[in-house]
Structures are given as C-alpha cells and as structure tokens.
Amino acid sequence: MSVPPSDTPKRPTQAEAEQAVRTLLRWAGDNPDREGLHDTPARVARAYTEFFCGYEIDPAALLRRTFSEVEGYDEIVLLRDIRFESHCEHHLAPIIGRAHVAYLPRQRVVGISKLARVVDAYAKRLQIQERLTAQIANTINDELEPHGVAVIIESAHECMTTRGVHKPGVSMVTSTMLGVFRENSDTRRELMAMLNRPAISEY
C-alpha cells in the first residue's frame, strides 16, 4: 500500500532539488552553468511537481461521494481507455498506458470522472505496473464495496524501449479481478465483450 506523505522523510527544499538536478547534469557529462541548461534545474523541479502530484491526493477520498438513485441499475459499469502517465520506480522512466476500470455496483455508484481521478492519483507516483493495478482495484473495492472490481492496464515502459533491452512496441498487460469478476466466469466474459466493442469514436 502507499506510504502517506506524513510518514516519508522530510521533503527537501526546491533549492535542494535543483542542486540535485545540477549534480545529475554534471554526471551526464555536461556543464549546468552553460546558457541552455541555466533554467533546467528549476524546470525539472516543476516537472517533478507535476509528475508526482499523486502523493498529495487521497484516492479513497475521491470516492466518498456516491449516488444511490440508480433505478435499480445492477450491471457492469466500465470506464475504458483511461490514458495515464506514470514513472517506473526503478529508472524514473515514463510508463504511458491505458487503464480499463470496471465495477459491478451494489446500490451505490460513483461519478465516472472519479474513477479516472483514482487512476491518476496512483499513476502520478513512482510505480510498478503490478502495484498500480492492484492499488486502483483495492481502493474502489474498499470504498464502494461493490460486487466486484476489475482493473486492466496496458502500457509501454520507456525503461524497456530507450535503455536496457531496447524493445520498442512491447506492451505490458496486468489485471486485478476482485469479487464476481474473479469468481464468476460469465461476468468476466461479459466484461471482455464490453472491452472488445469498437471505441465510441468509431460509431
């Protein structure tokens, strides 16, 4: 599970972060004092604020407001093709992908944009894809207590395309199935059929 910001060591100052970037620029073999790199440490610090803003967000809190007037709707709710950007915790390299998030409500539903926000709250942290997938599913399961949750993520890891084994075009797929999606093969099949339908832009 994620470590809340209060349990992490004291946050360095922006000046300390910029100094660390200068060190990395020198490590790369360049001169941080040349004109083109002059503002780079400040820009990188700002970029990090954006890349890792998920640490400031409580994903569970995003799901507290639910709606119960659903006229007896008791079928799968699926939000698919949620694009996300994350960073791998081993190389700080980007992970770019799509998440498909489904749940089978038990009376209460949540605004669909909230599901996308939960994806972002966990993606905007240092991650491995397996944990990202499980965290999204477990948070929805704990907060909404639905009959089941399914999260499927497919993504490209730049640490595999631009370094190491250098294998572009490889995608990694992970899934977490909870409740009926794990136990009931009919429900799982129905989900797969929904996922395989053409995207809305193709209608």
CA end-to-end distance (rounded Å), the chain: 40
Q: How many CB atoms lie within 10 A of CB 55?
A: 15
Distances (CA, A) of 87 to 68, 71, 133, 142: 36, 41, 14, 25
91 is in an annotated binding site: yes
129 contacts: CB under 8 Å, gap ≥ 6: 95, 97, 153, 155, 157, 172, 174
Closest CB to Zn ion: residue number:
159
Nearer of residues 88 and 119 to Zn ion, judged by Cβ: 88
**88 belongs to an annotated ligand binding site:** yes
Shortest distance, CB of residue 134 to Zn ion, whole angstroms?
18
Whose structure tokens read 């949540």?
A: 110
Binding residues (CB under 5 A) for Zn ion: these are 88, 90-91, 159
The answer to whether the CB of 175 falls within 8 A of the CB of 133 is yes
CB of 88 to Zn ion, least distance (A): 3
Shortest distance, CB of residue 163 to Zn ion, whole angstroms?
A: 8
Q: Give the residue with the Cβ less far from Zn ion, 154 or 190.
A: 154
By the 8 A CB rule, do 78 and 70 touch? no
Q: Which is nearer to Zn ion, 123 or 140 (CB)?
A: 123
Q: Rounded to the nearest whole angstrom, what is the least distance from the CB of residue 128 to Zn ion in the complex?
A: 8
Q: Specify the residue, 12 or 164, whose C-beta has the smaller distance to Zn ion.
A: 164
Give me the residues paired with residue 152 across strands.
100, 175
Instruction: List active site positions.
Output: 88-91, 129, 157, 159
Annotated binding site: 88, 91, 159
Annotated binding site for Zn(2+): 88, 91, 159
